[in-house]
Amino acid sequence: MKFEIDREEFLKPLQAVIGVVERRQTLPVLSNVLVVAEGNTLSLTATDLEVELAARCEASIEEPGRITLPARKLMDIVRNLPTAVRIRIAVEEDKAHIVAARSRFTLATLPANDFPLVDVIDDGQTLALPQHQLLALIERTHFSMALQDVRYYLNGLLLELDGNTVRAVATDGHRLALSETQIAAGMEGQRQVIVPRKGVQELLRLLSDAEDEVQVELGSNHIRISLPDIKFTSKLIDGRFPDYQRVIPTHADKVMLVDRENLRQALVRVSILSNEKYRGVRFDISSHELRIVSNNPEQEEAEEEIAVEFSGDHLEIGFNASYLVDAISAIDEEQVEMAFTDANSSCLISGHNNTVSKYVVMPMRL
């Protein structure tokens, strides 16, 4: 295999796939990137057996071929070469020779046949939606995923397809985030899949606010998302996601309307003196004022007062401040609605007059 390529053209696909390459691997070949040269196209593929990323670019190919190269070493070499330099790579036997200007490197290789690739997705259902819509769904919900929970199905993001509606839901058992969007061409019936945490993090890195459409293909065990020049494939978590609709409060009739940024900043300040482990703050709500109070085992205390509109009787309730900050930071509207039932029930948070995204936070005993 022999090919030439500009440094910038080579660096872009390398940066796209490098995120899934773990520094410590059970199989040596998983530390490598699969390089395939055909026609005038160079494709790079990396995997950790859970998530697979494939990117492609144009190159001047003298001899086609397939080989795997050490991913992070190759990345470091290309990244540290001078800009606008031309890179030439030639593979002979089990070595890859890299020449760029006056720099020369020789890398060990492993056979391409040893590289594990995801099989073709069978019986897949396909839909298309704008890239920015998919990104928004993930950004508004991903922070509520569980982290290494024994209930493994919570360590991921639920994508629910229901006709022309696409929903993203995440929960860790203490809070829940839900966001939905409408698409032009939906699919028959309803389908739920759970994308694992690592796949969600890679999608956050790969997706942009672009208007172009992405293809989403759902198989029995995998999800594949095709972007321009990049293909993302992830295993799905095999499990049943909890019935999230039962968690959303339906009788929360005590509604507080508050300026989003004022509330966010007050919560950040007050939480400085909260218990570092539980991050608890107490809400003391009256018709026109919200008092937020925190204290810690060192007998230190913080208090903030904010003007609000509250359609209910006086209420005292405790929350994890970090959960509230995450939720209101994901809302775009200038004003936030917080709906309460009583001091022992979950709070429903949304943007004022906008129920596209909803957040549920359980109360804390303080």
Contacts of 233 (CB under 8 A, 6+ apart): 51, 52, 53, 54, 118, 121, 222, 223, 224, 225
Q: What is the pLDDT of residues 180-194, one digit of tens each?
A: 999 987 777 889 999
pLDDT for 26 equals 84
Q: Do domains 2-114 and 254-361 have the same CATH topology?
A: yes
Distance CA 118, CA 310 (A): 54
Instruction: Give the fold, CATH level 3, of 254-361.
Output: DNA Polymerase III; Chain A, domain 2 (3.10.150)
H/E stretch holding 192 reads strand 175-196
* pLDDT in the model for residue 23: 83
User: What's the mean pLDDT in 267-272?
Assistant: 98
Q: What is the mean pLDDT of residues 312-325?
A: 97
The confidence score (pLDDT) of residue 190 equals 87
Determine what percent of the chain is predicted with pLDDT higher than 90.
90
Could you report the per-residue pLDDT of 34-85, keeping only the tens digit for each? 999 999 999 999 999 999 999 999 999 999 999 999 999 999 999 999 999 9
Using the structure block, give the residue that is written with the tokens 């107490």.
Answer: 282
Q: Which of 150, 185, 190, 188 is nearest to 167 (CA)?
A: 190
- The pLDDT tens digits for 341-366 are 999 999 999 999 998 999 999 999 87
DSSP label at 364?
A: B
Topology (CATH level 3) of domain 125-246: DNA Polymerase III; Chain A, domain 2 (3.10.150)
Does pLDDT of 121 surpass 80?
Answer: no
What proportion of the chain, given as a percentage, has pLDDT over 70?
99
What DSSP element (H or E) covers 8? Answer: helix 7-17
Parallel, antiparallel, or unpaired: how do β-strands 301-307 and 289-295 relate?
antiparallel
Distance (Å, whole) CA 248 – CA 177:
10
What's the pLDDT at 220? 87
Specify the pLDDT at position 116: 95
Give pLDDT, residue 330: 97
Instruction: Give 2-31 pLDDT, tens digit per residue.
Output: 999 999 999 999 999 999 998 888 899 999
Give the pLDDT of residue 142.
Answer: 98
Please report the pLDDT score of residue 118 as a whole number. 83
Distance between CA atoms of 58 and 10, rounded to whole angstroms? 9
pLDDT at 158 over 80: yes
Q: State the pLDDT at residue 143.
A: 98
Please state the φ and ψ torsions of residue 292, each to the nearest 5 degrees.
-115, 125
Is the CB of residue 39 less than 8 Å from the CB of residue 61?
A: yes
Class of the domain covering 2-114: alpha beta
C-alpha–C-alpha distance, residues 305 and 293, integer Å:
9
Q: So what's the pLDDT on residue 245? A: 95
SS3 call for 31: helix
* Predicted pLDDT of residue 366: 78
Q: In the chain, helix, strand, coil percent, each to 5?
A: 20, 45, 30
All structural domains of the chain with their residue ranges: 2-114, 125-246, 254-361
Taking the C-alpha atoms of residue 281 and residue 298, their distance in angstroms, rounded to an integer, is: 15
**pLDDT (0 to 100) of residue 187:** 77
User: Looking at the predicted structure, is the pLDDT value of residue 124 above 90?
Assistant: no
DSSP 254-313: EEEEEEHHHHHHHHHHHGGGS-TTT-EEEEEE-SSEEEEEEE-TT--EEEEEEE-EE-SS
pLDDT tens per residue across span 274-294: 998 899 999 999 999 999 999
Tens digit of pLDDT for each residue in 207-240? Answer: 999 999 999 999 889 999 999 899 999 999 999 9
Q: What's the pTM value of the predicted model, to 2 decimals?
A: 0.93
Report the alpha-carbon distance of residue 157 to residue 237 in Å, rounded. Answer: 9
Residue 263: phi, psi to the nearest 5?
-65, -45
> Do 226 and 233 touch, CB atoms closer than 8 A?
no
Q: How far apart are CA 241 and CA 171, in angstroms?
A: 10
